[in-house]
Structure formats: C-alpha cells, structure tokens
Structure 1
Amino acid sequence: MHCTQGLFQPSFFLIFVEWIKVFAMRSVTKVFLLGAIALAVFAAWWLQQPHGQLALAKATGVKNSAAPASVAPVAAAPAPALVEVTRARTHAVRDSVQAVGNLLSRQSTTLRPEASGRVAALHFKDGQRVRKGQLLLQLDDQLERAQLQQVDAELALAKAQFERNKELVGKGFISQAALDESAANLKVTQARRALAQTQVNRLRITAPFDAVAGIGNVHVGDYLREGDTLVQLQDMDVLYVDFRLPERLSASLRSGQTVALEFDAWPTERFAATVIAIDPLIDAQGRSVALRASLPNQELRLRPGMFARVSLTLQERNQAVLVPEQAILPDAQGAAVIRLSPWEEGDQAGGDLQQLPSDTVFRSERVAVELGLRLPGWVEVLSGIHDGDVVMVAGQHRINRSGQRARLAWVQDSDLVPLAPPGATQPVAQASAEGRQAEVVQASVTQ
C-alpha cells in the first residue's frame, strides 16, 4: 500500500515525465541523423552522374570543369601511333623434305678366284678403269693347257673315226652299232674338251662389267686359294642413293621426282638425282618408306659410300607472297596481319607510299590470312595479303584492330632476315618431325 502510493507521488511523476521527454528527444535525434546520412550519400551518388556534374557546373558557373568526355561537345582524337612496316613481296619457294643417305655404286663385286693357283700375271692397276671382259689376273695354267691340248688331239681322232665309220656304214662294211659307238665316243671327247677349256678359263679372271678397280693386295707369284679376295670393282658411272622418309608422306612420293644432294666434299654444289624406285613395304619399326634415286657420275667426282644430305621437292610455287614472320598475329581463326592504307584516299595518288610525308595518317585493317610454307624469318601467305601490301611488323601492342590511326616508319630490307642466297639451304624456323623445310628457289643444281 505504501509502495503503490509512492509511485503516484508528484515528485516521482515529474521525474518520469522528464525521462520520457529525454528518450523522445534522443529518438528524434537518431532519426534525424540517419536521414542526414542517407541524404548525403544520395547527393554524393547524384553528383557522380553526368547530369549531376552538368547541373553543378551550371550552378557554379564553371564550364566543362568536371564534365566527362562523353558529354563534351567534340572528343579529342588520339594521336596516330608510330608503327614499323614493310611491303609484302613475291618469290619462288620450294617445299621439300630432308633426309640423309649413302651413295651406292650401280654395280659392285669382289673378285675371287674359283680355283687355287699361283699368280702368273696382273693386267690392271689400282684405281684403273676396266672394261667388261678385260683380263685382270692370270693364274699359272701350264698343266691345264697341256691337258687341253691332249683332249684336242683326242677330239680330232674321234671326229676322223666317226667320219670314216659313216662311209663304211654306207658301203655295208661295218654295222650301225659300230657307227653309233664312234658317235658316242665323239660326244664324250667333245665334253672332255669343254671341261678342259673350262679349267683353263677358271685361271683367267676377267672384269664382269665396266668398272673402276679398287686397291688390291695381290702380287705376281702369290699363291691364291679358292675364294681369296683379289680386288673390288665399282661401277661408278651411275650412282644410287638410298634414303628413308616418314610414311605420312607416302601419298606425295612418286618415281621421277627430283632430288637435290649435298656432300661435304663439294660444299658449294648441289647434285641432281631422280627417284627411280619406292619400296612397296613400309618399315614397321620406324614407320618409314625406303626410296632409291640415281644420279650420273661419268666424271667420277662422287664415290660410293659418301654421306649425302637429301632434299626431295614436294611442291614448288613461283609467285608465293611472303611477309616477315613478325607480321603474323595469332587469331581466333588462325592468323591475321595488320595491313595499312592511307587514311585519305587522295594520298594514294602518288603511287609510292614511301614518298608521302612522315606525318601522313594511315588506317589499319586486321586481315585474316591463310599461311603456307615457313622460311627463316619469312612466312608464305596463301590468301588475304597481296604483293606490295603494306604490313605492320612492329607496334601490334598499339595497333591491333581495324580502323585505328597510325604513322609509318619503313623498315629497311637490311634490317629483315635476308632471303636465302644462291646455293644456301636454311632450316625452317619450326621444323616438323619428318624434316620438312621451305626454301627460296635460287640455288643451281649440278646435273
């Protein structure tokens, strides 16, 4: 009872009212502060917008002080970028595949005696040209010739006996059996004579074909046994070169294709050969196909066993369009090139763009291209670029799409990778597994 009455005392009531007022004032303050913060955020956002900045500029009397470029009356054009350029050019190029091989003689043999005997005479010199049938070595044949003379005498007697019996049979003096016996004796004697002649011939060693004799180690008086090595003969008028290529190139290979050969002994020359045979069997181990080419060698400049670097021509184009490899840009469709032409059409009237003032503005054009053969420092373009087109070789980080403005700095030919000089064979920048390469057609080939 006393507590309830205490709550309604005047002093307590006044304190309670004052507390309510303070609480209400604090709530209003919080609401006001929150509203002020929200208004400030909105004002800051509005001033960031183009129309807000424009209104602010008008209100303050400052013209274009903070207005973005998008609302400026005229946008300032970027200065033309300076890029390095050169012209596309045409040249004859050859697509070839590389291999290695060894020279082989068209015919070769090692002479060996078919019978034992002592060397009676030598009829050749080391390294000498010999002709087919030429006597090269004579073994002692005195005994065999004596036997041949004996058989010749017996043969003459057998022939005379047979002729007499033929006359006697006709006159009826001897029987037919006697004639037949004399005929058989004649045949036996003829066979013995052929055998004796063969024994004599086996002691004469002759050249089986036109060739060049090697270095022998036989002297007069040496005793040779059957099968001993006498000398090697090499037919060098025509040489063969055997080499292998990957099976993936089988569809491009055919007899009659031209092969260029290089040898360390003749470093400045290339020799022409012709494919004469392609092995029908693919090597299962190396997945390669064997080829044989032939080349004339009447002057005997080349020798069997020489190591040869082989270049087989697969295709050749006389008017290939080439650009420096720096001009090639990667593209979603494969590759692209930046081509440049004068911004003002009237600037082309002079014809020679290199004579235009240095401040002439050019327009860029990104052109999708199809690439062909690769050479050292150069790439063949099959489509998209033509002979004489101005292409960019440096500055693609500034000019890489169509419609951009550029000024040109012409690259001198001396600053580019030179095309292959006559007689040179240069490897491709990105050689494939089969050893293919492209080269400029300038080298002469020795027939």
Structure 2
Amino acid sequence: MHLPIFTAAFSAVLIASAGLSGAGAQEGSVQNVIVAPAVADRFVDQVEALGTTFANESVTITANVSDKVAEILFEDGQQVEQDQILVLLRRDEQRAELEAAEAVLAERRTAYNRASELERRQYTATAQLEERRAAMREAEANRDGAKARLDDREIRAPFEGVVGLRNISPGTLVTPGSVITTLDDLDPIKLDFTVPAAYLSNIQPGLAIVATTTALPDREFRGTVRSVATQVDRVTRSITARAFIPNEDHALKPGLLMTVRLLKNPRDAIMIPEEALVPSGTQTFVFVIDRDDNKAERREIETGGRRPGAVEVVSGLERGELIVTHGTMQVRDG
C-alpha cells in the first residue's frame, strides 16, 4: 500500500473577527489571521539509514580449461537467459573424442544385448554376460567423460541476467580462472543497510522502505525488508538488514550508496501545519477557532511524529477543527 511521505497542502482560510483580540491591541479590535482545518491523513514513522546496492545474483564468468576462443556469442550489456552459450572454445578434438566414444558404446551395447539373448537361451555362461555388461558400462563412462570435456568448451550463463564488459577477443588463449565477463541479475536488486541495534525490534521482514540516491535525484525506490542479520556488530552496535527493491528498468546498479527510510507503524492520524504550534515550556498549544462565534480557544495538544511542514496530533484535536496557522502572536484565549 502506498504510504504518502508528504501531505497535501492544508486549505487555508482568512478570517476577520472582532472576537479575536490581540494581546497588545485595544479590547474588541479586529485581528486577521489565517486558519486551516485539522485533517486526517496516513502517517508512518521513519528511521533513516545508509545502504549499498548489490545484484540479486552476481558471478564472474571464467573458463574451466585452457584453449583458444573460437566464437563470442554475446554483446556488452546484453540480457541473456539461463544456460545461454556465451563463448565457444576450440572443440574439434573433443567432438571427435565424443563421436569415437559413442561408436565404442554402440558396439559394446550390441555385444551385451547379444550375450544377454544367448544367456537367456543358455547358449553362453553368465560370467561372459557380466563381462559384456562391465565393458558396456566402461564405454558409457568414457562417453560421459568425452561429453563433459566437450561441454567445458561451451561457456554458458548460469542464470538469467545482464552481462558486463567482455575481456576477451576471438583467438584469445584462456586458462582456468581467466575472466571472460561478469553476469548480474539486476531485478530485484538487494540493498544492504545498517541501523543501530536499538531499532532491532522494529526491523522485521516485510517492513516497507523508501530509498533514494544522488545518482538518480528525481526518483524514489520502494521495497521491503527481506531478512535481518543474525548478529549485532560488537564494535558499532549496529545490525545489517537486507531489502529487495524492484528494478525492472535496471536503473539501479550494484555499488550505489542509497539513503534508506524505513516506514514503520503506518496509521491514520490527525495532521496540522507545523506553524500552528505555540510552544510554552514543555507544553504545546494551538488556537482553535469556534465556528459559531469566531472566538479563539488556547488548547493544549499532544504531538506525535513529524514530517516536513506537518505535525501529528495524538490528542487534543478532532478532525475538521479550525486552528490558527498564521497570526498566533496576535491572538489570545477568548
């Protein structure tokens, strides 16, 4: 559910009333003030943190064997499917070995089937059948080994994702561990961030977040906490959480620094403009306008959370009551 971070503008009304008297003005003089209604709105508490993005899955594509590159079948930045062939190494020798191994297997399978039929008719000994079975299994193992060596010459994508920049060219001699390219699954993208351990009870899987980055200043990214680390850092007394953010357009890249706002305790709240507050010591007051006679009542309220330009009222006001937002210094109770 979308939880608005910034409330809509409070509608303002200009009121002129003889009942609003200034502290230093003559009794009964008219004072003009601006008022606005207390409105009901959705509100969430926020905790800010810094985090770093990571690919959902990430791997460095390397070769398993030593050979020369025969063909490159991907472009830089291309979206590829799981098991898609990315690079072919020279494999003529391995293909010939596989064909030879398959021919031997076919011959030994035929010999085994013949021996099995003769054994069924009791024309040959069981021991000879077992020899044929062992020979056939040996040929199957040789065939499988030849196929594996051929497959090593086909470098495939282990999962769906986006390939990075290639580091090879056709004819390049690669060896085990030679970096060919990278592969990243960018949707969704992971966001790891740390928060003080004091917030441990609030950071739970499913908690909504909003993240921003200076690299994309005009966008907000919404996601949810997926998991929380099992240990608190003993030095910083903080804990790491991981959120997942949908990233269909791949705008977010691994390694970005992001500001994270954790959205907890969503609720319906009474909101008023921040300018309406009249602090006095440890207490907070507002001037409430009586709609019948336009008299001002100085009323104590209890405030809750805040967001830019607005304050949550926990108690002391009802939805729709008019309060003075500008001109509070000119107004007194009654």
Instruction: Flag structure 2 segments of 5+ consecutive residues without an equivalent.
Output: 1-21, 26-30
Q: Which of residues 237, 261, 266 is equivalent to 2:211?
A: 261
The 5 A counterparts of 1:399-418 are none
Q: Which of residues 97, 100, 103 is equivalent to 2:50?
A: 100
Partner of 1:196, secondary structure, is helix
Q: Is the 8 A contact 1:337 1:391 kept in 2?
A: no
Aligned residue in 2 for 1:283: 233
* Higher relative strand content: 2
Q: Is the 8 A contact 2:288 2:322 kept in 1?
A: no
Deviations 1:67-114 (A, max 9, x none): xxxxxxxxxxxx952489653643534321111212211111111111
Task: Return the alpha-carbon distance in structure 2 between the equivalents of residues 341 and 159 of structure 1.
Answer: 99
Q: Which of residues 21, 24, 38 is equivalent to 1:81?
A: 24
Pairwise CA distance, 1:251: 2.2
Q: Is the 8 A contact 1:162 1:182 kept in 2?
A: yes
Aligned residue in 2 for 1:308: 258
Partner of 1:303, secondary structure, is coil
Deviations 1:167-188 (A, max 9, x none): 3323444322111111111111
Q: Which of residues 176, 187, 192 is equivalent to 1:226?
A: 176
Task: Return the alpha-carbon distance in structure 2 between the equivalents of residues 282 and 80 of structure 1.
Answer: 56
Aligned residue in 1 for 2:128: 178
Change (3 A) 1:149 1:375: closer
Aligned residue in 2 for 1:384: 316
Percent of aligned pairs with the same residue? 27
Partner of 2:235, secondary structure, is coil
Structure 2 residue 305 is the aligned partner of structure 1 residue 373: yes
Radius of gyration: which is bigger? 1
Deviations 1:133-153 (A, max 9, x none): 111101111111222122122
Aligned residue in 2 for 1:292: 242
Aligned residue in 1 for 2:38: 90
Task: Return the alpha-carbon distance in structure 2 between the equivalents of residues 242 and 273 of structure 1.
Answer: 12
Q: Is the 8 A contact 1:84 1:392 kept in 2?
A: no
Q: Which of residues 150, 153, 164 is equivalent to 2:103?
A: 153
Q: Is the 8 A contact 1:321 1:382 kept in 2?
A: no
Partner of 1:369, secondary structure, is strand
Change (3 A) 1:305 1:384: same
Question: Amino acid of the residue matched to residue 35 of structure 2?
Answer: R
Aligned residue in 1 for 2:144: 194
Q: Which moved more, 1:281-290 or 1:111-120?
A: 281-290
Pairwise CA distance, 1:376: 4.4
Change (3 A) 1:340 1:143: closer
Question: Amino acid of the residue matched to residue 115 of structure 1?
Answer: V
Aligned residue in 2 for 1:162: 112
Pairwise CA distance, 1:325: 5.2
Task: Return the alpha-carbon distance in structure 1 between the equivalents of residues 289 and 133 of structure 2.
Answer: 105
Question: Amino acid of the residue matched to residue 190 of structure 2?
Answer: Y
Pairwise CA distance, 1:395: 4.0
Question: Amino acid of the residue matched to residue 337 of structure 1?
Answer: F
Q: Alignment RMSD, CA only?
A: 2.9
Task: Return the alpha-carbon distance in structure 2 between the equivalents of residues 123 and 142 of structure 1.
Answer: 18
Task: Return the alpha-carbon distance in structure 2 between the equivalents of residues 168 and 391 of structure 1.
Answer: 105
Question: Amino acid of the residue matched to residue 167 of structure 1?
Answer: E
Partner of 1:266, secondary structure, is coil
Partner of 1:252, secondary structure, is coil
Q: Report the number of matched residues.
A: 305
The 5 A counterparts of 1:55-74 are none
Structure with bigger RCO (C-alpha 8 Å, 6+ apart): 2
Task: Return the alpha-carbon distance in structure 1 between the equivalents of residues 206 and 307 of structure 2.
Answer: 26
TM-score normalized with structure 1 length: 0.61
Aligned residue in 2 for 1:208: 158
Change (3 A) 1:303 1:269: same
Task: Return the alpha-carbon distance in structure 1 between the equivalents of residues 182 and 207 of structure 2.
Answer: 32
Q: Is the 8 A contact 2:286 2:323 kept in 1?
A: no
Q: Is the 8 A contact 1:89 1:323 kept in 2?
A: no
Change (3 A) 1:271 1:139: same
